[in-house]
Chain A
């Protein structure tokens, strides 16, 4: 069974540009989560999508957005990039957004903003 996949592996952008990160969940999983792992800030919850809808978001500005497609894959968009957006962005998936279901993580996309 294929795990969670993310693309690209690395992404280098300049300040003010937009970045698009992609995630494919494990087959059968309907929930996708995005986390940011920034140096010194640890792992922070960003967004949760389930059945094509945004269900919840963490304490991030609106320029962080995304969507979930009918095949449950997901896209994270970061607009007007700032230097502090440089981080590892991790996607996770689970069978359901209900508590207790394991989240399986992808390898991440490392975003560097210069």
Chain B
């Protein structure tokens, strides 16, 4: 079985500061990795994904995440956050085989203040 750990339930940060949201996973088989973002009272939006290839993946709005197989991590980073980045961020995994059930972490609430 797979599991995802997001140790930080809440991360407060000032606008224009860098941020890192941590995600570690556990799996006995190869996995795909995802970051989803949930704005207040909305559903989930896919932020970025790692399926294969380059271990550094980027989103269109400045976020990036790096797959580290040895540390079983997929941390999300942004060099300079905006107020509009305030949201809940979920890390998720699915396995390479079988059907694509997403296993989610408990989420990290990013709070950006001026």
Taken together as a complex, chains A and B put the C-alpha atoms of A100 and B104 apart, in Å, by 15
How many chain A residues touch B (Cβ–Cβ < 8 Å)? 28
| Contacts of B25-54 to chain A: CB distance below 8 A | 32, 34, 36, 42-46, 49, 51
Taken together as a complex, chains A and B put the C-alpha atoms of A48 and B100 apart, in Å, by 9
A-contact 0/1 string along B80-114, CB 8 Å cutoff: 00000000001010111111111111110000000
Stretch at the interface among A13-21, A61-69, A71-79, A90-98: A90-98
- Which secondary structure dominates where chain A touches chain B? strand
Taking the nearest CB of chain A, how far is it from the CB of B95, in angstroms?
6
Task: Report chain A residues within 8 Å CB of B92.
Answer: 43
Taken together as a complex, chains A and B put the C-alpha atoms of A50 and B99 apart, in Å, by 10
| Contacts of B41-77 to chain A: CB distance below 8 A | 42-46, 49, 51
Task: Report chain A residues within 8 Å CB of B107.
Answer: 42-43
Q: Are A100's CB and B51's CB within 8 A?
A: yes
Task: Report chain A residues within 8 Å CB of B104.
Answer: 42-43
Q: Are B103's CB and A103's CB within 8 A?
A: no
Q: Are B100's CB and A103's CB within 8 A?
A: yes
- Tell me which of B43, B102, B103, B107 has the highest count of chain A C-beta atoms within 10 A of its own C-beta: B43
Task: Report chain A residues within 8 Å CB of B102.
Answer: 33, 35, 43, 45, 92, 103
Taking the nearest CB of chain B, how far is it from the CB of A112, in angstroms?
14
Taken together as a complex, chains A and B put the C-alpha atoms of A86 and B94 apart, in Å, by 26
Residues of B within 8 A of A (CB): 32, 34, 36, 42-46, 49, 51, 90, 92, 94-107
Residues of A within 8 A of B (CB): 4, 6, 31, 33, 35, 42-43, 45, 48, 50, 55-56, 58, 90, 92, 94, 97-108
